[in-house]
């Protein structure tokens, strides 16, 4: 399921006492072969420009959307990866993917993230049952 053809929904929640937003790929809720995407990929990027509520300022948000699009294009085009969505929480934006090719994704992220000129962190972990994002899909 390529994200360019997917349906996304957004909702607000609270994280550590601060307002937060999630944009989630609805089509993945009932994905039949989730087990082929056995690793969760969480990428945190810390924006340079923030609003009073700790979210990215408009120009920063637009930049982060472009970063996300580049990651989606490569990961969905060159690896067996699906884009779950992203969250915007206090002082960071987190991009979520699931992959069946953890080593390829790690290699790409180790290179690509050095080019974005922002502080970042990423984790790739085994999660064959998609437990890490189950809470989002239970809300749909």
CA–CA distance, 22 with 103 (Å, rounded to integer): 27
**Cα separation, 39 vs 81, whole angstroms:** 9
Q: pLDDT 10s per residue in the chain (140 long)?
A: 677 789 999 999 999 999 999 999 999 999 988 989 999 999 999 999 999 999 999 999 999 999 999 999 999 999 999 999 999 999 999 999 999 999 999 999 999 999 999 999 999 999 999 999 999 999 88
Q: What is the pTM of this model?
A: 0.95
- All structural domains of the chain with their residue ranges: 3-138
Distance of CA 21 to the CA centre of its chain: 12
**Pairing status of strand 92-99 against strand 8-15:** unpaired
Indicate the class that CATH gives domain 3-138.
alpha beta
Q: Whose CA is closest to 64, among 39, 41, 40, 91?
A: 91
CA–CA dist 1, 127 (Å, integer) = 19
Q: Give dist(CA 58, CA 13) in Å, integer.
A: 20
Secondary structure of residue 125 in the 3-state scheme: strand
| Angstrom distance (rounded) from CA 133 to CA 136 | 6
């Amino acid at each position: 399921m390529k994200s360019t053809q997917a349906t996304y929904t957004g909702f607000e929640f609270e994280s550590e006492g601060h307002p937060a937003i999630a944009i989630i790929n609805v089509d993945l809720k009932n994905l039949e072969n989730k087990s082929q995407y056995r690793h969760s990929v969480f990428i945190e990027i810390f924006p340079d420009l923030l609003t009073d509520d700790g979210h990215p300022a408009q120009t920063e948000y637009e930049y982060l959307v472009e970063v996300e699009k580049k990651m989606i294009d490569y990961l969905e085009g060159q690896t067996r990866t699906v884009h779950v969505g992203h969250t915007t929480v206090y002082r960071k934006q987190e991009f979520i993917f699931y992959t069946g090719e953890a080593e390829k994704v790690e290699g790409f992220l180790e290179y690509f993230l050095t080019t974005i000129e922002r502080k970042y962190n990423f984790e790739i972990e085994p999660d064959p049952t998609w437990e890490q994002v189950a809470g989002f899909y239970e809300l749909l």
